[in-house]
Amino acid sequence: MWILKQTIIRFVGVVNFLIIARALFSWFSRGYSNPIYNILYQITEPILYPFRQLQEKIGVGGMIDFSPLLAIVALDILQRVILSIL
């Protein structure tokens, strides 16, 4: 059981890191042809897209994309729920 908990913790940590890396990369680089950005986009977009849609439906943020923050908070809550069940 300990190995499963550590795997979940590390997986969520890696996904959070990738989301943060994508957000930072988008601030400093506008080269969408960059292969590093493309890899980050392909990995994180399935996670961020639902939160971006939610943000648009609520009408929050305007020009600011809060989807990375919402995704990280949701992943943290999901991790805590799963770990409390285990």
List pLDDT tens digits, range 6-50.
999 999 999 999 999 999 988 887 767 788 888 999 999 999 999
**Residue 29 near residue 37, CB atoms below 8 Å:** yes
pTM of this structure? 0.86
- Number of structural domains in the chain: 1
**Residue 80 near residue 12, CB atoms below 8 Å:** no
Q: Which range marks the domain in which residue 71 is found?
A: 2-85
Contacts (Cβ under 8 Å, ≥6 apart) of 14: none
Q: Token digits for 31?
A: 């080269």
